[in-house]
Structure 1
Amino acid sequence: MRRKIRLAATLLLCGIAAGALAHGSATGIVRERMDGMSAMAKAMKSIAPIVKGETAFDAAAVASGAETLVGHSGDEITSKFPEGSDGMPSEATEEIWTDWERFETLAHQLARYASALARSAGADAEGLVVDAHVQQVAEMPPKEIFGMIGKTCAACHESYRQKLD
């Protein structure tokens, strides 16, 4: 579990650094999705020390961060990847569009896990994905759910993100 959390934190920090450089010249839909990814990275960074036990557990902060993830995942993030929006300075790989079904599945998986994390921290159901699977995952410890979110982010970034220098 520690490895999963470290992986999520590493991806988060790399994403923040790369995103800061790439954002400068991005416009339109590419800028919108980069801003969404930055918001998710910031949310992950705020949740990580809480679920790792480095700071006191703050249910409101976990719920708020998880709600940010929900707001930028699922249909919201897939709508930011119209075909043909992979030009520079986009970090999106062509595989997003050639493997759209898997990309979409990961985007919705992220929304479900983030919803479960928000629910586990006591958030209202408004705006969250609520189904039997989410309710079941929400029964898990927040640290485990956070690890699942990190793995989902990593799977997407491995396949669909190219690092820009």
Structure 2
Amino acid sequence: MKKVIAATTVVSALFVATAFGHGGATGVVKERMDLMGNLKSAIKILVPMMKGDQEYDIEKVITQSKIIQENSGIHMTKGFPKDSIHGPSEAKEEIWSNWDDFQKIANDLNKLAIGLEKAAANPFHKKGQMMNNSSMMGQSMMQMGQGNMADNMNLDDMPLDQMPPNGVFKMITQNCSACHTKYRIEN
């Protein structure tokens, strides 16, 4: 009898956690919160490698860049149909009044993730290291990104595949930061 009660308690707890995850969000709001969670998980795996705190694993970088690709661009924007700000959404209304900008940021994230996948085997740029033309491009883009990177560049003209992967990754994190600053309600 005690085992049945314990099993019922565990199942009930899992049900409650699932039902109320993301503050009880449902439908498209929950779907986009899950999508953002996928992005957060991928970034969390990449950060220690990109900072040099963990051994760099090209295959992990490629895998995580594909996860970012699968959760950005059109995959991201379809999670924001007009007027879907109900419930526990963290989305600001500005997404829909600045749709073209939001869409560009989402598409740029996809392009950057593709660039990271292609750049994964490139050497890192390290402080104090001499740079070739492609790593200089990466360094100048990393410096330029201190402002709102999403407004300032055309990724179609950039040789992301030739850049150091840590340079492309920094651009990804700047893209995320720019989007959150503009379009996410901070709790």
TM-score category of the 2 structures, normalised to the smaller one = 0.7 to 0.9
Separation of aligned partners in 2, 1:59 and 1:93: 36
Aligned residue in 2 for 1:74:
73
Separation of aligned partners in 2, 1:77 and 1:147: 20
Larger Rg: 2
Question: Runs in 1 of length 4+ with deviation above 4 angstroms?
Answer: none
Mapping 1:8-157, distance limit 5 Å: 23-121=22-120, 133=156, 136-157=159-180
Instruction: Give TM-score, length-normalised by structure 1.
Output: 0.77
Separation of aligned partners in 2, 1:22 and 1:107: 24
What's the offset of the Cα at 1:24? 3.7
Higher relative contact order (CA 8 A, sep 6+): 1
Alpha-carbon contact 2:115-2:160 (below 8 Å) kept: yes
* Deviation per residue, 1:89-134 (Å, 9 max, x gap): 0000000000000000000000000110011126xxxxxxxxx938
Separation of aligned partners in 2, 1:45 and 1:25: 24
Q: Unaligned regions of 5+ residues in structure 2, if any? A: 1-19, 122-154
Separation of aligned partners in 2, 1:121 and 1:143: 9
Separation of aligned partners in 2, 1:47 and 1:96: 27
Separation of aligned partners in 2, 1:108 and 1:74: 4
What's the offset of the Cα at 1:22? 6.2
* Deviation per residue, 1:137-159 (Å, 9 max, x gap): 12111111110001100110001
Q: Please state whether the residue corresponding to 2:83 is helix, strand or coil.
A: coil
User: Root-mean-square deviation (CA), in Å?
Assistant: 1.7
Size of the alignment, in residue pairs? 135
Separation of aligned partners in 1, 2:83 and 2:23: 20
Alpha-carbon contact 2:23-2:88 (below 8 Å) kept: no
Separation of aligned partners in 2, 1:55 and 1:42: 16
Relative to structure 1, the CA distance from residue 143 to residue 39 in structure 2 (aligned partners, 3 Å threshold; closer, same or farther) is same
Relative to structure 1, the CA distance from residue 134 to residue 72 in structure 2 (aligned partners, 3 Å threshold; closer, same or farther) is farther
Instruction: Give TM-score, length-normalised by structure 2.
Output: 0.68
What's the offset of the Cα at 1:57? 1.1
Q: Unaligned regions of 5+ residues in structure 1, if any? A: 1-20, 123-131
